[in-house]
Amino acid sequence: MGIIEKRGDIKQLLQGTDGVLGNMHFTLDGSDDPSNVLNLMSLDAYLAGREPHAVVRALESVADDLDLIPRGGELVRSISGSTYLQLVRGEGWTLRTQRWRDGSGQALVTAGTRERAEEVAAFAVEQAGAPEEARDDKVDMGFWYRSARGPFRSSRSIAAPQWSDIERNYSSSAVSALGKLMATRPSDVTGRLVLLHGPPGTGKTTALRALAREWAEWCQVDTVLDPESFFADPSYLMEVIIGSEMDLHLPDEEPAGDHWRLMVLEDCDELIRGEAKEASGQSLARLLNLTDGLLGQGREIMVAITTNERLDRLHPAVVRPGRCLAQIGVGALSPEESSDWLGGEQVSDAMTLAELYARRGGTDPTIAEPEIPQQHTGQYL
C-alpha cells in the first residue's frame, strides 16, 4: 500500500478508491488482496480512538466450519481459501479471527474497554477449543519454507513409527548406531549435527520420523523444505532460528528454553559434498556456524542432514571429529538380512528397504521388464 494525498474514509477503500484511516493514508494496487482490506477494516475503530483497547490471542484449534461470532455480533466480512478470516462487529467492539492451514489461528479484538476486549477474546479462545489430542503413532512436525511474504512455518501431525517396530528394516551395522541415537537425551548431546548418509531407498527419512517420536518429550523437529534458500539468505536463517524459539510448543507447557530443536534438511548433497565451498558460497559456512560457531551459541539447536553421497565424498569440515552427534551410514540389507526380512524367501543380492517392500508387494525391482517386441506400423506413422 502506498502513501497518497487525498483524504477519505473506509467506505472509499471498499469502493476501490483512495482512503484514509486516522492519519494513515493508503491505496490499493495489484499486489494487495481482500485480506488487506479486512485487516484495515479491523483497525478502523482502534485508529480512530473509538475502541482504544486491543487484545490478541492465539487459537490452538479452529474447525473448518466454525463461525466465531459472539452474541450481539454481526459478520461484516469473511475470506475463504488457504487461510480463513472473519471480521465481526458488535456494540463497542470488533473481532477479527484468522485460521491458518494447520488449524491454528489468531483472534484480534479491539473494544471501548479492556474488560470488554478480554471478554470477547475469551469467547473466541473457548469456542476454538484445544487441539485434538495427539495419538501415540503421530508427532507434530513443523515445515519451514520461504513464501512471497517471507519465511512461513506450517505445522502438521505426521505418522511416526516406534523405533522398536522398524529396527529390523536396517542393516546390523546401522541398527546399533541408530538405536544409540534414538536413546539420546539432552544431557548426552555433544555435537550438533546428525548426518545420515546412504543410497536412496534405504529408510533415512523413516528413521528421522522415528527419531521425532523418540525425542518428542524434549525436542521439536522442524523440516526446512528449501535448504538452498535457507542458508543462502541470512534473514531467512535468522527468522527460523529466532522465530521458532518464540513459537515453540512442547508437552506440559514447559519453558521453551529447556528444550532442543532439530532442523531437518533432506537430500543436501550440494551443500556438504567436497566441493561445496566453491559451489555454495557462504551456505556451507553458515551451516557450520549454526552447528559449531557463534550463530549456534546459546541456542539449543541441532541440524539433521540426509545425503546420498558416500562419507568420503563429503566436505572434511562437515565430518570432522566433534562436529557430529551421529554420523550413520544407512545402507542396503545383506542377502541374509534381506531373506530374513522377507520371511525366509532366499535372495542372492543385498537389497534396499524400498526394494524389499516392492518385492513383498509383488514386484521384483531386480528383474527387468521383458522387452516389448517391435510392432509393424505400416504407413500410418
CA dist 322 and 292 (Å) reads: 9
Length of the chain: 381
Give the pLDDT of residue 311: 72
Burial class from Cβ neighbours inside 10 Å (0-12, 13-18, 19+) for residue 122 reads middle
* Domain ranges in the chain with CATH number 3.30.310: 33-128
pTM: 0.64
CA dist 121 and 177 (Å) reads: 50
Name every residue whose Cβ is closer than 8 Å to that of residue 9 and which is 6 or more positions away in sequence. Answer: 19, 20
CATH of domain 138-329: 3.40.50.300
CA dist 258 and 217 (Å) reads: 11
Looking at 288-334, which runs of residues are DSSP E strands? 301-307, 324-329
CA dist 51 and 116 (Å) reads: 10
Give the pLDDT of residue 37: 84
Find, among 228, 246, 357, 235, the residue nearest to 305 by Cα.
Answer: 228
> Which stretches of the chain are DSSP H helices?
10-14, 34-42, 44-48, 114-128, 163-166, 172-182, 204-214, 227-232, 234-247, 269-272, 276-280, 283-292, 316-319, 335-341, 353-360
Q: Decide if 94 contacts 106 (C-beta within 8 A).
A: no
Tens of pLDDT along the chain (381 residues) come to 443 333 344 444 444 434 445 555 666 555 567 888 888 889 889 988 999 999 998 887 777 666 789 999 999 998 887 678 899 999 999 999 988 776 778 899 999 999 999 999 999 988 887 555 555 688 988 888 887 777 888 778 889 999 999 999 999 989 999 999 999 999 999 888 899 999 999 999 999 999 999 999 999 999 999 888 888 888 888 888 875 444 444 444 444 445 899 999 998 776 665 554 554 557 777 787 777 766 666 678 899 999 888 777 777 777 777 788 999 999 999 999 999 999 989 989 999 999 999 998 877 655 555 555 555 554 444
CA dist 372 and 278 (Å) reads: 46
Give the pLDDT of residue 59: 83
Distance of CA 266 to the CA centre of its chain: 13
Q: Which CATH code of 3.30.310, 3.20.20, 3.30.300, 3.40.30 fits the domain covering 33-128?
A: 3.30.310
Give the pLDDT of residue 232: 82
* Domain ranges in the chain with CATH number 3.40.50.300: 138-329
344: phi > 0 → left, psi -120 to 50 → alpha, else beta; which?
A: left
Give the pLDDT of residue 326: 92
For residue 60 the three cell numbers come to 490452538
Give the pLDDT of residue 165: 95
Give the pLDDT of residue 375: 54
